Amino acid sequence: MKTYTIYINDNTLLIANKLPAHAEPVEVLEENGFNFEAFYEGLSKFSAKQYALLTADPKSLFQQIKAGLTVIKAAGGLVMNAKEEYLFIYRNKKWDLPKGKVEKGEGMKAAGKREVEEECGVKILTNDNRLCKTYHVYEMGTKLVLKRTNWYSMTVKGSPKLIPQKEEGITKAEWLTASALKPVLKNTYPSIIDVLKAGKLIKEKESKEKIKLP
């Protein structure tokens, strides 16, 4: 059965027909009468809790929630160079991966490539398979926005110099090996952890242990 994960700041809402076997402490919500806007309003912006909305039909319930939100499409990339190092950016005081909104008439995959090239000053050599999709909810004016981001596996030729796009708030861009991700895991978004797991840079147990490091 399909499982959907929605991130709200550092909070996680899992929509599924049963709890995953590896689930951390989670608050189970009632499906009957569930109102997403009320749930959102009740969340603390400083909390990092996990919630589960259990239902016989996760897809249908996710679509109902989605219908009440303003959907924005975005795309980004997990980029590897010839040294098997990966491209990370530092923006808004957190480690992140390059991504951005899809322009009108633009395909998701093409948007991901364009955003990586614009934000980091590199030329993408290959733009391969989609790794995963992530969903993030935030406020934009008076609207609640659901940002759906498609993430793709990409490569570059050699190990090019990175030029962070400062007008997008990116203060630095770095190539990091999979064994040097501790600073990233301690200070990144839960959705980025999902991308790193999809790209097989980290394992489920490893990601949890490193995030909890002091």
Q: Of 145, 175, 146, which is closest to residue 159 (Cα–Cα)?
A: 175
At a CB cut-off of 8 Å and minimum separation 6, what does 115 contact?
A: 74, 75, 76, 77, 98, 99, 100
* pLDDT of the residue at 44: 82
**pLDDT tens string 121-152:** 999 999 999 999 999 999 999 999 999 999 99
Inter-residue contact 131 to 153 (CB < 8 Å):
yes
**Mean pLDDT, range 104-128, rounded to an integer:** 97
Please, which pLDDT band fits residue 203 given cuts at 50, 70 and 90? confident
Length in residues, the chain: 214
CATH number of 77-211: 3.90.79.10
Please, which pLDDT band fits residue 157 given cuts at 50, 70 and 90? very high
Inter-residue contact 79 to 156 (CB < 8 Å):
yes
Q: What is the pTM of this model?
A: 0.90
Give the residue extent of every domain in the chain. Answer: 4-67, 77-211
- The end-to-end CA distance of the chain, in Å, is 36
Distance CA 8, CA 139 (A): 10
**pLDDT tens string 176-192:** 999 999 999 999 999 99
* pLDDT of the residue at 22: 64
Strand (E) or helix (H) holding 85: none
24 vs 152, residue with greater confidence? 152
**pLDDT tens string 57-105:** 999 999 999 999 999 999 999 999 999 999 999 999 999 999 999 999 9
In this structure, of 1-10, 21-30, 55-64, 118-127, the range with the lowest mean pLDDT score is 21-30
